[in-house]
Amino acid sequence: MAAANVLTTAATSASSSDSTITSATLYGLKGADADAKVFIELKDDGGAYNVIGTLSRAEPAKLLYPGTYRFRRPAGPTCGVYTA
């Protein structure tokens, strides 16, 4: 599978659409400034999102398992998210 954009690179506050995955999938940070951070949120069975981790320069990639996720970028440093 080719890499796909999940959250466009920018410096504004934004959240991705839901990403529902059925098998282990690698997500990575792209175009990241030094202080960039993206929150990884897992959607629970009631529809609420819970922060389960972050993507940052220190941890630029994470392997996520089946579930429904979204990625939330606070305003500030430039960054985005892709899946490989």
pLDDT of residue 1: 58
Identify the structural domains of the chain with CATH numbers, from first to last.
Answer: 4-83 (2.60.120)
The pLDDT tens digits for 16-73 are 999 999 999 999 999 988 899 999 999 999 999 999 999 999 999 999 999 999 999 9
What is the C-alpha to C-alpha distance for residues 44 and 28, in angstroms, rounded to an integer?
22
Give the closest residue to 74 by CA, choosing from 55, 49, 48. Answer: 55
List Cβ neighbours of 61 (8 Å cut-off, separation of 6 or more).
26, 27, 28, 29, 55
In this prediction the pTM is 0.93
Does residue 82 surpass a pLDDT of 90? yes
